[in-house]
Chains A and B, each alone.
Chain A
């Protein structure tokens, strides 16, 4: 089992884990922030939240910001991996 074959297996399992519920389960798949509220409301009906989020961004903007967050991270990871690749090739040549 080569390393790359192993990695392909790993990726396949991750994708399967995410896709299987989508195929087999009929549900909203909401992040369901609201459910936390409901849960707290049922346990402590008189609780009043004493702060609200600074920014109420529209859904589209929110998904943009999530994409941005992932992009920043992925960019840095790509940069570091690329740098390592270059470095390790340099040492191989010597």
Chain B
């Protein structure tokens, strides 16, 4: 068992080094932070994404209300999920393309509570960054929230359920959910930019390749890191035996809408 684990770790390390060396040969290129910047979506699209996001926000508020009413003990866990998102999205991690980007941290809350509450928790973080850090923006908050707080968690949750149903280990399911939530966020951001700025030649598809191609590679190691960190905090929580956790686990086992 230990031997096998060593092997996995060693091969992971090799993979990273391999990736890094591969990119050494290639020109490092700049990519961008995860959010669409203030004013960089045409008015129509900015409004469109706001309108697309608001229903999910309302559903999220309702989901959180329901959780806190049914199980007030879980308020702490909601706080924890929000805090995890706060920490992870503040970490600008260097990546293999020679630029930095940051994880989203939405995976933990997604596997604990399902995707809906994350629309609220995730957009709180985005609001903080837009107002205080000039990172992202208020006009583009709808689009950014849709990618990070709606689409990402939805994709992550789908993967989580799928893996849990097919009987894989919970650790693997949580890892995959967090990694997929991270990657899906960036893919959606690329789509948002591509439809707003179609290339003169090749249109939306060419644009998407440009935007997506750049940060797909940047984001892969970060998605792995994010998956691992989410598993780490989950393992840590598992080591305690409290009412909150047993309530949460019962909920996670049962079907949730």
Contact = CB atoms under 8 A, between A and B. Distances in A.
B84 interface: yes
Interface in B1-24: 1-2, 5, 9, 12-13, 16-17, 20-21, 23-24
B39 interface: yes
Describe A's contact surface by its main secondary structure. Answer: helix
Contact of A28 (B30, B32, B130): B30
Contact of B235 (A3, A16, A27, A76): A3
A49 B31 contact: no
B84 A73 contact: yes
A9 B9 contact: yes
Contact of A29 (B42, B91, B98, B197): B98
Interface string A68-91: 011011111100110111011001
A52 B222 CA distance: 29
Contacts, number: 225
Interface residues of B, number: 89
Contacts of B225: 14, 17-18
A91 B241 CA distance: 8
Contacts of B130: 53
A27 B96 CA distance: 10
B80 interface: yes
Contacts of B71: none
A50 to B, nearest CB: 5
Interface string B41-72: 01100000000000000000000000000000
A14 B139 contact: no
The 9 closest A-B pairs by CB, nearest first: A27-B98, A73-B86, A49-B39, A73-B87, A76-B83, A51-B39, A53-B134, A36-B32, A27-B28
